[in-house]
Structure 1
Amino acid sequence: MQKGSRKLDVEVETHSRLRYPHRLSLYDRPPTEDITIEEFETCAINRLHVLAEIESCYARNRPFDELREITNLQCEKHVPLDHNSAITKDRDSQRRKDITGHFVLRLAFCQTEELRRRFVKAETTLFRVRYLNATISERKGFHESKDFDWIQANDDIKATHELQLKAVVPDADERNSIPQVRWTRVPDLVEKRRVFLKDGWAYVPSREQSSIVFQEFQTRLEQALEMTAKALPRMDEDTRLEPILANLSQGSLLDEGTAEGVRAEMHFPMCMRNLHENLKRTHHLKHFGRLQYGLFLKVLGLPIEEALIFWRKSFSGHTDDQFIKRYKYNIRHSYGLEGRRANYPAKSCQQILMNDQPGPTDSHGCPYRHFSHDNLQMALLSMYSSQGLTEADLPEIMHTVRTEAYHVACTRVYEITHATQNVRKGNGIGSGETVTHPNQYAEASRALECASTSTTTNSIKMEVDGGDIVML
């Protein structure tokens, strides 16, 4: 026996002994082994890193080749899956962790329709990337291990429709084995005219069979998530898992790398804090609110790529198609990338006070002018008590509001909330200057933060972290 042949026999024998013999999985069998709480959480977090990066790629409209490369790098780092030929690696352990992470995230992302949609899209993309990376033998073994419910076209069909089949399958050898499925299982191939249709059947070239597999993966996962959502209430008694699943579904475990960043809303004037908090609470802002807040973020330093991610994550109640059709153009327009391609400035305090007066259901405008006095006082304490503002400060602030000195009220709040950074009454935002622009307030606040931490910055940079705005 030749050396190469012996090596192949050893590889096949070793592979056949694996508990998880296939690198690809439809995740139709949950892990049955005992799993520690630590492993439960770790496997899920590692997988969530990969899925979050996939979501980020979609939000940035990266081409698929680039998304595939990024996903491969993230998989190598967090959820490696070696090929069947890697007989020196612990492939069973790798695949066990992969499957465990998937099923834990099912529990976390099954609870709402929006979470299920996000999870299915990211997981289907991950499966697609892995499928395309698989060797021919790995794909064949995977196909044979599952029932994809396709049948081979018989000789009568091939003879009767030889010309039509030849148009989609030019290679004669390939035409000898053509699977047929109901056309509803391959709508993407039907749309692109890559299959032959007859009597509700689609005859699929072998090079396009991956579409059947991808569709099957997505359909099964959607059904499994709905079943998981129905079964989840039975787990309520286990108080160990509930906080883990809640954190996973919110992506709050992926805030690494931001220790040097500062949550931007801490530096926002009240008008922008109000918009930010309304956006987080309702996952939506009406037109003038989006315009006021969006231009503020743009001038503060949020690049268009991060802006699209931020608004997409914030508008979580919308599908990708709805977001693209209703909001994406206007966001790009405000950055001068559509329409007149003008460089629109952020709105000044005077413009916010005088133009586009808010109605009862709007969030834009100036809180010092447009809130009722009772609501304004409650909002001030809610937003700024953690930064040193107390009830004892309210009479002075409300006096300036009643005299319609809204700029002075905003400036006084700035002085109070920055008192720990040696800002005194009358200092304003510097040299006694009052607030006349929301960006002026935010930039002055950030400059004080940098000075107090002995850092220097020539400009403010911003990025999106888990749907929040971070100043760097």
Structure 2
Amino acid sequence: MEIVGSRRKNSSFSSADDAAVVSTIPLYRSAPELEVRLDDFELYAIHRLRVLKGISDGLSRGKKPNEMENLTKELWKVNMRNSEASEVANKDIISHYVLRLVYCREEELRKWFLSMETTLFRYRFQLETTDAQRALLKEFDLPYKAVSNAEYESVKEKLNQVVRSIGQPLSSADTIYYKVPFEQVPDLVATRRVFIFKGYAYVAMNQVVSLLMTQYRSHLSKALVLTNRKWTSMILEQEKDRLTPIVEALSTSYLGPDYSQPREYGEISLKDIDQVAKSSFPLCMRHLFEKLREDHHLKHGGRMQLGLFLKGVGLKLDDALAFWKAEFSRKVGAERFDKEYAYGIRHNYGKEGKRTDYTPYSCQKIISSTPGVGDHHGCPYRHFSEENLRAALDKMGVGNRAVQDVMDKVRNRHYQLACTLTFEAIHGASCDAGINHPNQYYNDSKNILESRVRATRMVDTLMYAEV
């Protein structure tokens, strides 16, 4: 890395005074040789997963950088502390490597973990002291050399133009810049926050985290691929009775409320299900419901996503069997339904196989799914074409202006925020917590609609009393 500075005697990454400074952020370059109790193995991973999930939720709600920094600080403080001070660093390292195992096994899982861990690194770095940041920068050992002060003077005005354009204080005599190939800082280039000349970007010290994120992401991406190879070739079979069940459960865990049993609105009757689908189902479930009514069939992914959602909103097992049989029988016949499909429905309700009481899918799981040809599950905000999404939103009654806002969020990959805006447009009410689960959408919708019914009844009662 080439360092560009003005009138500085020492332009290296660290000075003698910095030698004793150590960053609290590990780079996770080699697995630790630590003994971990099985309970801690799972617990530490859950704690870190809460941090990553909180970051994901914050990003999906469009929080600003300073808000994300504060959120990350609070999430880390609440979830990653330990009763033993000496164990804090171990918990950090152990939890990271456990989640590598959890999220290395599928491409979509790797993408999510890579994105969240890189974002976590960004805000942890920004919360470090300047000396600790320089110490961490030195650890990366980036292979670039310093340039002369004369070069800084030759581009000083250009650098200040960029600084002024982004509303930052002008460079001072002590400002340090790093000169790096522009492809190393794609986020800064995309937002025009750096001066580029002859293929190099001039990165200020307060922007250097973007460069480190690129390096960190590259290393972690390669590490996840290697971990996946070890998982499939060795660990999966060797640990099938011990670690494998924990790892597989963690990859699908949802850390919010448990929607496996309806709590607020009890049972939903078959005679009301069509009306409720129109008024209170989120788009992902409404689309599946309509496709089931239209085609009288759904593939496995669609059956799981819609079936567990219906279970969560209060559709009892007997009614679920009747509901699915009525549709599928029109396509495959009643006998084939009983032989091939009824088992899966009973299985979801914990009445077959391992007797597991399966939980409805969270937004995170639905967004990360990969529907194929003929599939209708997944997140419409992610998987629909723009034309199809606009048509679906129009059918739900979302106005033109709100549709534009939703599409803006979709283009920026804020799918949960797009769903939140849809909810607000349809119900005419704010959803400050954001949408994180389809069953949360349903419960919040029912809350609003039933409160309006109660208010209307109260008004009618008062008017009747006056008469």
- Given the two structures, how large is their TM-score scaled by the length of structure 2? 0.55
2:341 aligned with 1:339 = no
Q: Is the 8 A contact 1:180 1:202 kept in 2?
A: yes
Tell whether 2:142 aligns with 1:148.
yes
Cα distance, 1:123 vs. partner?
A: 1.3
Whichever residue aligns with residue 22 of structure 1, its letter is: S
| Cα deviation, residue 464, structure 1 | 6.6
Contact 2:48 2:95 in 1 (8 A): yes
| Cα distance, 1:24 vs structure 2 | 1.6
**Cα separation, 2, equivalents of 1:72 and 1:281:** 41
Q: Which amino acid aligns with 1:338?
A: G
- Give the secondary structure class of the aligned counterpart of 2:49: helix
When residues 230 and 279 of structure 1 are mapped into structure 2, their CA distance, relative to the original with a 3 A threshold, is: farther
Aligned to 1:430: none
Residues 183 and 197 in structure 1, CA contact (< 8 A), matched pair in contact too: yes
Q: Which residue of 1 aligns with 2:55?
A: 54
Tell me if the contact between 2:259 and 2:439 (Cα under 8 Å) persists in the aligned partners.
Answer: no
- The code of the aligned residue for 2:79 comes to H
Q: Which amino acid aligns with 1:71?
A: T
Aligned residue number for residue 125 of structure 1: 119
* Corresponding residue to 1:246 among 245, 248, 255: 248
Equivalent pair of 1:153/1:179 in contact (CA under 8 Å): no
Secondary structure of the structure 2 residue equivalent to 1:22: coil
Distance, in Å, in 2 between the alignment partners of 1:282 and 1:227 is 29
Structure 1 residues 466 and 197: alpha-carbon distance in aligned structure 2, compared to 1, 3 A threshold: same
SS in 1 for 2:230: helix
Larger radius of gyration: 1
Cα–Cα, structure 1 residues 331 and 243, in superposed 2: closer, same or farther, change >3 Å? farther
1:278-310 CA-partner distances (Å, limit 9, x unpaired): 88943699xxx9xxx99xx9xxxxxxxxxxx96
What residue is the counterpart of 2:78 in the other structure?
77
Against the structure 1 CA distance between its residues 189 and 279, is the aligned structure 2 distance closer, same or farther, given a 3 Å change threshold?
farther
What CA deviation, in whole Å up to 9, does each residue of 1:186-241 have, x standing for no partner?
11222233323233222212222121122222222212111111111210211201
Rounded Cα–Cα distance in structure 2 between residues aligned with 1:117 and 1:320: 19
| Pairwise CA distance, 1:178 | 2.4
C-alpha distance in 1 between matches for 2:389 and 2:56: 16
Tell me if the contact between 2:185 and 2:210 (Cα under 8 Å) persists in the aligned partners. yes
Q: What displacement does 1:268 show?
A: 6.4
What one-letter code is carried by the residue in structure 2 that aligns with 1:190? V
Sequence identity percentage: 24
Contact 1:57–1:67, Cα closer than 8 Å, also in 2: yes
Work out whether 1:210 is the aligned partner of 2:209.
yes
Whole-angstrom distance in 2 between the partners of 1:216 and 1:328: 36
Q: In structure 1, how many angstroms separate the alpha carbons of the residues matched to 2:132 and 2:140?
A: 13
Unmatched 5+ stretches in structure 1: 1-12, 82-88, 298-308, 343-461
Which residue of the partner structure matches residue 224 of structure 1?
223
Partners of 2:396 and 2:67 in 1: CA distance: 25
Q: CA deviation at 1:339?
A: 1.5
Quote the Cα distance in structure 1 between the aligned partners of 2:299 and 2:438. Answer: 9
Q: Distance in 1 between matches of 2:269 and 2:144?
A: 58
Letter in 1 for 2:186: P
2:182 matched residue in structure 1: 183
CA distance in 2, matches of 1:66, 1:280: 41
Any idea what SS the aligned residue of 2:239 has?
A: coil
User: Which of residues 93, 97, 102 in structure 2 aligns to 1:99?
Assistant: 93
The alpha-carbon distance between structure 1 residues 338 and 134, as it changes in their structure 2 partners (threshold 3 A), is farther
Does residue 235 of the first structure (1) align with residue 229 of the second (2)? no
RMSD: 4.4
State how far apart, in whole Å, the 2-side matches of 1:65 and 1:328 are: 32
SS at match of 1:226: helix
Residue 157 (str. 1) matches residue 151 (str. 2): yes
Count of aligned positions = 310
> CA separation in 2, counterparts of 1:28 and 1:264?
49
Q: Tell me, yes or no, if the aligned pair for 2:363 and 2:436 is still in contact at 8 Å.
A: no
Once residues 363 and 389 of structure 2 are traced to their aligned partners in structure 1, the CA distance between those partners, rounded to angstroms, is 9
Shift of the alpha carbon at 1:174? Answer: 4.1
The alpha carbon displacement at 1:157 in A equals: 3.3
TM-score (norm 1): 0.54
Cα pair distance change 1:65/1:281, threshold 3 Å: farther
Tell me, which stretches of 5 or more residues in structure 2 are unaligned? 1-16, 164-169, 278-284, 314-360, 371-378, 404-432, 445-467
C-alpha distance in structure 1 between counterparts of 2:59 and 2:195, whole Å: 31
| 1: CA distance, partners of 2:75 / 2:391 | 32
